[in-house]
Amino acid sequence: MTQWRNWSGLESATPSDVLTPTTPADVVDAVTEAAERGSPVKMVGTGHSFTSISAPEGVMLRPDALAGILDVDRDAMTVTALAGTPLHVLNTELARLGLSLHNMGDIHEQTLAGATSTGTHGTGGLKASLSAQVSGLELVTGDGSVINASATQNPDVFAAARLGLGALGILTQLTFDVEPLGVLLAHEQPMLWDEALERYGEFVAESHHCDMYWFPHTDRMQVKRNYRQDLAPADAEPLSRFRAWLDDDFLANTAFGAINAIGNRVPSLVPRFNEMSGRLLSERSYSDIPYKVFTSPRRVVFREMEYAVPREVGLAALREVRRLIEASDWRISFPVEIRMTPADDLTLGTSTGRESIYLAFHVNQHTDHTAYFRGVEEILTSYDGRPHWGKVHTRTAADLAPTYPRWQEFLDLRDRLDPNRLFANSYLERVLGN
Ligand SMILES: Cc1cc2nc3c(=O)[nH]c(=O)nc-3n(C[C@H](O)[C@H](O)[C@H](O)COP(=O)(O)OP(=O)(O)OC[C@H]3O[C@@H](n4cnc5c(N)ncnc54)[C@H](O)[C@@H]3O)c2cc1C
């Protein structure tokens, strides 16, 4: 019997059947059949969500064969791809075509539909989430019908299904806005907490993408800023293969994994390790095509919670979290990540209607996260925080509803597109209600 398990290993499920559709028509058949049998059906991505959002509790549709680029429109500057296409495939194929997405998160292993369905985001830019870069989609709904949506065609479906939590139907195709392949200059600089927080507004204003990491139990931060360059990709000055391997693979994964393993056995060493890691970081600059700057390999498996809070209270929330960590006996070996996003117009977007600061908290896969995440979650909820849909949180429909101005609109659309809850699972029941 096939078991579904997510990347972090925190969630698992046993689907009743597993199908691998190769075309949108196969998806329609699978949905129609599941509807006739009264069985739930869910398409999964690569399982990179930390929650059970994609747990298949009936028929599981695998994304693997629903992959590939369908169309490139250089006049409209859009690319259309099948929904199960991995993001890294899209990125490399776009680069080959001299094109690029505008922004993305830290990794690119996820499927297009999986990443957009939870609002996967990067930092800064004009649009930070992948969902906000979608300009068209095709969706198979609960009665097996196919809806195409864009800003002008079925705009209510478009607003919601770009970040649909897998609750509105099965996406078969997605169209993304793209731009000419450019070059990003990356500048990374160690800094002390006070200076980094004091100058944060300045960093966000003068760079295009700003990302900061704080090493808990220390005063040390790493500030990363990216700047869009007016350069051809051939003129980029990437890291040497050795430096890229040393910094982004060996130090960030192999050495960090070993330090984590020791920290798990002897937690009292964690503050010293964090201080050492913070001190070892050096200033560096390089330039490269965007996806090579935005994404890097993550081989140390972890659990993560991330909240979006209104930008104006983001740093106050972070300061309060630091006070909580310092007053606790927790030993946190992973840095806290701080990102910024512009407001977007997605019905259930974590940045909908407001500029946001995202605060992300991680622990090693073998560390119990519950007390740390619960304590931090209480603080971030008090700042009107919205949890990332794909990362660990304990919120429910009743307490999420007040923080989303268009909550009811999403529920009404769900009633229309999936009245029999064919696409439901326990996670969706918790966060959206029945
Ligand atoms: C190491 C790591 C790094 C990460 N970095 C970031 C980051 O920088 N920024 C960020 O925001 N997030 C990040 N995430 C979170 C991750 O991007 C999201 O959780 C994303 O949803 C995972 O995509 P997936 O393909 O694995 O989808 P899954 O987790 O498998 O599924 C997510 C949702 O998509 C739905 N879905 C999948 N396919 C379809 C379809 N065809 N139609 C409709 N619904 C569908 C599923 O049913 C489910 O509801 C990271 C996660 C990990 C593990």
Neighbours of 196 (CB within 10 A): 22
Protein residue whose Cα sits closest to atom 18 of ligand 1 = 49
Q: What pLDDT score was predicted for residue 80?
A: 98
Q: Closest Cα to atom 37, ligand 1: which residue?
A: 114
Longest dimension (CA), the chain: 61
Residues 188-230 have pLDDT tens digits of 999 999 999 999 999 999 999 999 999 999 999 999 999 999 9
Does residue 280 carry a pLDDT above 80? no
pLDDT at 244 (0 to 100): 73
Residue 50 CA: nearest ligand 1 atom is 19
Range of the structural domain that residue 359 is part of: 183-387
Q: Let me know if residue 309 belongs to a domain.
A: yes
Closest by CA to 307, choosing from 337, 344, 327, 333, is 337
pLDDT band of 246, cuts 50, 70, 90: low
Closest CA to 425 of 26, 28, 98, 39: 39
pLDDT of 266: 79
* Ligand 1 pocket member 387 (CB < 6 A): no
Strands (E), 142-268: 146-150, 170-177, 179-180, 183-192, 209-214, 220-229
**Strand locations in 84-154, DSSP E?**
99-100, 134-140, 146-150
| 283 assigned to some structural domain | yes
Length of the chain: 434
In a domain, 300, yes or no: yes
Distance between CA atoms of 236 and 289, rounded to whole angstroms?
A: 7
pLDDT at 129: 97
What mean pLDDT, rounded, does the chain reach? 95
Cβ of residue 303 lying under 6 Å from some atom of ligand 1: no
DSSP state of 51: S
As a whole-number percent, the residues of the chain with pLDDT over 70 amount to 99
Q: Does residue 97 form part of some domain?
A: no
Q: What is the pLDDT of residue 245?
A: 66
Nearest to 295 by CA among 434, 139, 92: 92
* Rounded Cα–Cα distance for residues 355 and 342 (Å): 5
| CA-to-CA dists, residue 162 to 117, 129, 216, 218, angstroms | 6, 10, 35, 39
Q: Compute the distance from residue 242 Cα to the ligand 1 centre, in Å.
A: 31
Ligand 1: does its nearest atom lie under 6 Å from the Cβ of 171? yes
Q: Which pLDDT score is estimated for 363?
A: 94
Predicted confidence band at 142 (pLDDT cuts at 50, 70, 90)? very high
pLDDT at 253: 72
Give dist(CA 347, CA 332) in Å, integer: 34
DSSP assignment letter at 50: S
Amino acid 271: pLDDT: 83
* Band of residue 265 on the pLDDT scale cut at 50, 70, 90: confident
Is residue 259 in a domain?
yes
Rounded-to-integer distance, Cα 207 and Cα 205, Å: 6
Query: Six-digit token pair at 422?
Result: 């064919």
Q: Do residues 15 and 2 touch, judged by C-beta distance below 8 A?
A: yes
- CA dist list (Å): 209 to 83, 183, 225, 340: 27, 13, 6, 8
Angle, alpha carbons 237-211-379 (nearest 5°): 170
**Beta carbon of 49 within 6 Å of any ligand 1 atom:** yes
Residue 237 lies in a domain: yes
| Nearest ligand 1 atom to alpha carbon 119 | 11
Flag whether pLDDT at 262 surpasses 80. Answer: no
CA distance 109 to 279: 30
Give the C-alpha distances (Å, rounded to integers) separating 271 from 133, 318, 395: 40, 18, 30
Closest-CA residue to 18 (of 3, 6, 37, 29):
3
Give me the pLDDT at residue 279, please: 74
Residue 62 has pLDDT above 80, yes or no: yes
Q: Residue 209: which CATH number?
A: 3.40.462.10
User: What is the per-residue pLDDT across 11-43, written as a single tens digit (0 to 9) for each?
Assistant: 999 999 999 999 999 999 999 999 999 999 999
The answer on pLDDT for 1 being more than 80 is no
Asked if residue 112 has its Cβ within 6 Å of ligand 1, the reply is: no
Q: At what angle do helices 311-327 and 370-382 cross, to 10 degrees?
A: 140
For ligand 1, say whether the CB of 270 is within 6 Å of any of its atoms: no
The reported pTM is: 0.95
How many domains is the chain partitioned into structurally?
1
Mean of pLDDT values over 304-312:
98
The CA distance from 156 to 153, in Å, is 9
What is residue 270's predicted lDDT score, i.e. its pLDDT? 81
Residue 275 — very low, low, confident or very high, per pLDDT cuts 50/70/90?
confident
pLDDT at res. 250: 63
Residue 359 lies in a domain: yes
69 assigned to some structural domain: no
